[in-house]
Chains A and B, each alone.
Chain A
Amino acid sequence: MSEQFAMKEHTLVIEREFDAPRELVWKVWTDPDEVTRWWGPEHFTTPREKIEFDLRPGGACRLTMVGPDGEEYPSDGHFRIVEPPVRLSFGEDSTEHPMIQSGETTVELVQLGESRTKVVITSRMICADELIGMAKIGWGSQLDKLEALLAG
Chain B
Amino acid sequence: MVAETDQLSMTFAALADPTRRAILARLAEDGEVTVNDLAQPFSVSIQAVSKHLKVLEQAGLISRVRRAQLRPSRLEGAPLRDAVGWLEQYREIWEGRLDRLASHLEDLQRKAGGDE
Query: Residues of A with Cβ closer than 8 Å to B?
Result: 1, 3-5, 12, 14, 16, 18-20, 24-25, 28, 34, 37-42, 67, 69, 71, 96-100, 115, 119, 121, 123, 125, 127, 130-131, 133-135, 137-140, 142-143, 145-146, 149-150
Interface class of chain A by DSSP = mixed
Selected contact of A125 from candidates B90, B97, B106, CB within 8 Å:
B90
Selected contact of B93 from candidates A20, A41, A138, CB within 8 Å:
A41
Q: Can you sample 26 A-B contacts with CB below 8 Å?
A: A3-B16, A5-B16, A16-B102, A18-B105, A24-B105, A24-B108, A24-B109, A25-B105, A38-B100, A69-B1, A96-B5, A98-B9, A100-B86, A115-B109, A119-B98, A123-B94, A125-B87, A127-B87, A130-B15, A137-B24, A137-B25, A139-B81, A140-B77, A142-B88, A143-B84, A145-B88
Give the contacts of B1-30 with A (CB-CB under 8 A). Answer: 1, 5, 8-9, 12-13, 15-17, 21, 24-25, 28
When distances are taken between beta carbons in the complex, the residues of chain B under 8 Å from A97 are: 8-9, 12, 86
Interface string of B67-98 (1 = CB under 8 A from A): 00000000001001101111110110111111
